[in-house]
C-alpha cells in the first residue's frame, strides 16, 4: 500500500510540475500585440485606385479556419472535437472556400479565422492559398499550445496562429492592426484570442479622402462585457473616420445578432451558446447595418450539419456589415452554401461610394 501511495504521489507531482511548466512557458511566450501595428502586405500587385462613385462588390466570410465544414462539430458549442479529423478534410474545405472567393468577381474580400501555421489545420498556410491583389493578414489568435477544455491534453487544439485577412483588387495604401479590449484575465488570457480590427486605407482617385475598410471578428465566448467594449471601440473608430470625410465600411463576424434576427432564428439552445445583441442605437448617427434576414449566416457546432434534424440544428444571423452615410447599399445577400465548407455562410454586399 505504501509503495502504491508513493507511486501515486509521484505521478501527481509529475503532472503538477508539467502543468506548472506549461503555464509558465505559455505566460512567457504570450502574444502581446501593441495597440496599433503597421502590417506588411502578404500579397501585392500594381492595382488601380478607387474612383469616387465606384460600385464595389464585397464579400465577408468567417471561413472557420477551413476546419468547420458540414462534417464538423466544436467542443465549445456542445460538440466533441477541437479540429478537423485530418489534413485531407481541411484541404477539401479550403478548396471549396477558394472556389467561392475566386469565383465571385469580388473587388474586396474580408475573411475571418484564416490560419497560417496551426496544428488544428495541419500547418496549411491558408492565407497564402486565398490571397489575391493587395492582401493583408492580422493575427488575432497566436498561442503555442491550446488545451482541450474538457480533456486538456487529450485531443488538444495545439499550436494556433490565425487571424483576419483582407484582399482587394484596388490599391491599399496602408493597413494596420488595431487591438480590441481583451475580457479575459490570466491564466485564461494566455490561451485566448487577442481580438483586433484589420483596418485598410484605400486611396480614392482625385480625392484627398479614403475608403476606410474594417475587417472584424468580435468576442464569442465571453460573459458579454467583452462584446460590448469591443463594439463601442469599433463604433467610435467608424465615427471618427467618417468625420474626417472618409467613406467607411466595416464587416465581419460580430458574434451578435442583428435587429430582427432573433425573431427569424430563435435561440432554442442557449445552454450551448448565446450570442450578444446588436442594437440600432449602437450605430453612429447616419450609419446603417447591412445584412440579409432571409438566410442564416451561422450554425451552432453542437453536431455535424444535419438540416433535417430541426430540433438540434440551431441557426444565427451574426455576420454582416456597417456602412457610413456616404456609402449607398445597392444589394446585400447571405449566400446559402449549405454550410458545406464552413460553419458560416458568406455575406455579399454591393455598394456605391457617394
What is the DSSP code string of 144-180?
Answer: EEE-BTTTBTSS--EEEEEEEEEEESS---EEEEEE-
Amino acid 45: pLDDT:
87
The stretches of the chain forming alpha helices (DSSP H) are: 2-28, 87-102, 126-130, 225-243, 261-264
285 has a pLDDT exceeding 90: yes
Asked if residues 303 and 28 have their Cβ atoms less than 8 Å apart, the reply is no
- The Cα–Cα gap between 234 and 322 comes to 10
Predicted confidence at residue 50, as pLDDT, reads 97
Res. 7: pLDDT tops 90: no
C-alpha cell at 332: 446585400
User: What is the reported pLDDT for 8?
Assistant: 81
Instruction: For the chain, state the CA radius of gyration.
Output: 21
pLDDT exceeds 90 at position 11: no
Q: What per-residue confidence (pLDDT) applies to 9?
A: 85
pTM: 0.96
Mean pLDDT, residues 217-221 taken together: 97
Q: How many angstroms separate the most distant Cα atoms in the chain?
A: 85
Q: How far apart are CA 67 and CA 136, in angstroms?
A: 21
Check pLDDT > 90 for residue 121.
yes
- Rounded to whole angstroms, the Cα distance separating 67 from 82 reads 9
Q: With cut-offs at 50, 70 and 90, classify the pLDDT of residue 293.
A: very high
Contact at 8 Å (CB) between 97 and 73?
no
Q: Which residue has the cell 480590427?
A: 197
Cβ-count burial of 16 within 10 angstroms (0-12 exposed, 13-18 middle, 19+ buried)? Answer: exposed
Please state the domain extents for the chain. Answer: 1-30, 36-353
pLDDT of residue 25: 94
> Within its chain, how far is the Cα of 23 from the centroid?
26
Could you give the angle at the alpha carbon of 39 between the alpha carbons of 212 and 177, nearest 5°? 60
The class (CATH top level) of 36-353 is: alpha beta
Supply the mean pLDDT for the chain: 96
Given this model, what pLDDT does residue 154 score? Answer: 83
Q: How large a percentage of the chain has pLDDT more than 70?
A: 100
Do 177 and 33 form a contact (C-beta atoms < 8 A)?
yes
pLDDT tens-place string over residues 64-80:
999 999 999 999 999 99
pLDDT reported for residue 5: 80
Instruction: For the chain, give the percent of residues with pLDDT over 90.
Output: 89
Average pLDDT over residues 39-47: 94
| Bridge partners of residue 250, in order along the sequence | 214, 322
Q: What is the pLDDT of residues 232-252, one digit of tens each?
A: 999 999 999 999 999 999 999
User: Contact, 317 vs 346, CB < 8 A?
Assistant: no
- Which pLDDT band holds residue 18 (cuts at 50, 70, 90)? confident
pLDDT-derived band of residue 19, with 50, 70 and 90 as boundaries?
confident
The per-residue pLDDT for range 132-176, each reduced to its tens digit, is: 999 999 999 999 999 998 887 888 999 999 999 999 999 999 999
Q: What is the pLDDT of residue 122?
A: 97
Q: How far apart are CA 83 and CA 78, in angstroms?
A: 14
Q: Which three cell numbers stand for residue 101?
A: 472567393
What is the rounded CA–CA span in Å between residue 242 and residue 324?
A: 7
Predicted confidence (pLDDT) at residue 1 exceeds the cutoff of 80: no
Q: What is the dihedral of CA 311, 65, 290, 230, to 10 degrees?
A: 100
Cell numbers placing 343:
460553419
On whether the CB atoms of residues 120 and 160 are closer than 8 A, the answer is yes
10 — phi, psi (to 5°)? -65, -40
pLDDT of the residue at 120: 97
Amino acid at each position: 500500500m505504501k509503495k502504491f501511495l508513493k507511486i501515486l504521489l509521484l505521478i501527481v507531482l509529475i503532472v503538477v510540475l508539467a502543468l506548472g511548466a506549461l503555464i509558465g512557458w505559455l505566460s512567457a511566450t504570450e502574444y502581446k500585440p501593441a495597440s496599433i501595428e503597421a502590417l506588411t502586405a502578404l500579397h501585392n500587385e500594381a492595382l488601380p485606385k478607387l474612383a469616387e462613385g465606384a460600385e464595389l462588390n464585397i464579400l465577408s466570410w468567417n471561413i472557420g479556419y477551413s476546419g468547420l465544414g458540414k462534417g464538423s462539430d466544436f467542443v465549445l458549442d456542445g460538440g466533441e472535437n477541437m479540429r478537423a479529423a485530418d489534413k485531407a478534410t481541411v484541404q477539401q474545405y479550403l478548396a471549396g472556400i477558394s472556389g467561392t472567393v475566386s469565383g465571385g468577381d469580388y473587388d474586396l474580400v474580408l475573411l475571418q479565422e484564416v490560419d497560417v501555421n496551426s496544428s488544428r489545420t495541419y500547418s496549411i498556410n491558408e492565407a497564402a492559398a486565398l490571397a489575391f491583389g493587395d492582401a493583408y493578414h492580422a493575427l488575432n489568435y497566436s498561442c503555442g499550445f491550446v488545451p482541450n477544455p474538457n480533456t486538456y491534453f487529450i485531443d488538444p487544439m495545439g499550436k494556433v496562429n490565425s487571424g483576419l485577412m483582407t484582399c482587394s483588387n484596388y490599391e491599399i495604401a496602408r493597413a494596420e492592426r488595431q487591438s480590441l479590449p481583451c475580457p479575459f484575465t490570466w491564466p485564461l488570457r494566455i490561451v485566448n484570442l487577442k481580438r483586433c480590427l484589420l483596418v485598410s486605407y484605400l486611396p480614392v482617385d482625385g480625392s484627398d479622402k479614403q475608403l476606410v475598410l474594417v475587417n472584424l471578428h468580435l468576442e464569442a465566448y465571453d460573459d458579454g462585457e467583452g462584446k460590448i467594449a469591443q463594439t463601442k471601440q469599433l463604433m467610435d473608430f467608424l465615427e471618427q473616420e467618417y468625420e474626417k470625410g472618409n467613406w467607411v465600411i466595416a464587416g465581419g463576424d460580430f458574434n451578435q445578432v442583428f435587429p430582427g434576427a432573433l425573431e427569424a432564428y430563435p435561440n432554442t439552445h442557449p445552454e450551448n451558446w448565446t450570442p450578444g445583441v446588436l442594437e440600432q442605437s449602437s450605430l453612429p448617427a447616419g450609419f446603417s447595418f447591412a445584412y440579409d434576414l432571409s438566410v442564416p449566416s451561422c450554425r451552432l457546432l453542437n453536431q455535424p450539419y444535419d438540416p433535417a434534424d430541426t430540433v438540434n440544428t440551431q441557426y444565427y444571423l451574426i455576420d454582416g456589415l456597417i456602412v457610413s452615410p456616404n456609402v449607398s447599399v445597392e444589394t446585400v445577400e447571405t449566400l446559402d452554401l449549405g454550410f458545406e465548407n464552413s460553419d458560416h455562410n458568406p455575406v455579399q454586399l454591393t455598394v456605391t461610394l457617394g
